[in-house]
Structure 1
Amino acid sequence: MIDDSARYKDLRILVIEDESFSRRIICGLLRQIGFNLIEEASDGEQGFRETLRTRPQAVLCDIHMEPLDGLGYLSKLRDYAGPEIAATPVIFLTADKQQETVISAKQLKVDGYLVKPVSLASLKQRLDALLKFHNLI
């Protein structure tokens, strides 16, 4: 069987998560999938700066963070003047499954929504669908 992890090795992914333990787990899962270029940020404001600096092909983002939460990050990203940056694919990875939050995320054009704790299989499946949709793999 051919190892398909090679197709991820040159793709940059950004993890925005305020809890360092959760961030380490997510980064570990991404490494198991085959990602090598993993950037990290601890809140939406730092995440936005990292998005501009590193230009990731995908972002995994928590919702509840201070001072700028995930919804604020996504709003700022989608409103950015540069269309290439504004269209950066974002998957929310959060414990929040309240209907209002999901609706707000959809209104901001989130690309995916996974509820924590997330399994390796579900994370890989969602990322594969997203990256194929954007012709990145």
Structure 2
Amino acid sequence: MKRILIVDDASFMRLAINEALVNSGFEVAGEAEDGKEAIEQYKLLKPDAVTMDITMPVMSGLEALKEIMKLDPNAKVLMISALGQDTQVKEAILNGAKSFIVKPFQEEKVVQVLNKILES
């Protein structure tokens, strides 16, 4: 069973992603509300993949992505962004993110893209 770390500052988004993953047979390894917490959780939990919001307080998803990629060059991070964050999405991909999804998203899409990332 693949273990996923969910990172988003909005609790309702974490809940939606959590439900989608659990319903599709994933295990939610943990959750984080900001980039700083995401890095700590990544070190602690060593998940198979991460869903990472871009815009968060304390530390952005982009900054967290860069740190996680330094810790683990093979990390599989799926960025989740709001519309109109194209520049940040490009930067995320250049910094090692495996894919991205735009909010509002369909739950099946998150599952589909995560499966694809985990298989690669």
- TM-score, normalisation: structure 2: 0.92
Identical pairs, percent:
29
Q: Which has the larger radius of gyration?
A: 1
Alignment of 1:75-86 (within 5 A): 75-80=66-71, 85-86=72-73
Q: Structure with the greater relative contact order (CA < 8 A, sep ≥ 6): 1 or 2? A: 2
More strand by share: 2
What amino acid is the match of 1:68?
Answer: M
Q: Say which of 8, 15, 18 aligns to 1:17.
A: 8
**Contact 1:27–1:38 (CA<8 Å) still a contact in 2?**
no
* Greater CA drift, 46-55 or 119-128: 119-128
Q: Say which of 70, 89, 92 aligns to 2:79.
A: 92
1:51 counterpart residue number: 42
What amino acid is the match of 2:91?
Answer: S
Q: Which runs of 5+ in 1 are unaligned?
A: 1-9
1:30 counterpart residue number: 21
CA RMSD of aligned residues (A): 1.3
Q: Say which of 46, 52, 55 aligns to 1:64.
A: 55
What amino acid is the match of 1:32?
Answer: N
**Contact 1:90–1:111 (CA<8 Å) still a contact in 2?**
yes
- How many residues were matched structurally? 120
- TM-score, normalisation: structure 1: 0.82
Query: Structure 1 residue runs of 4+, over 2 Å off?
Result: 96-99
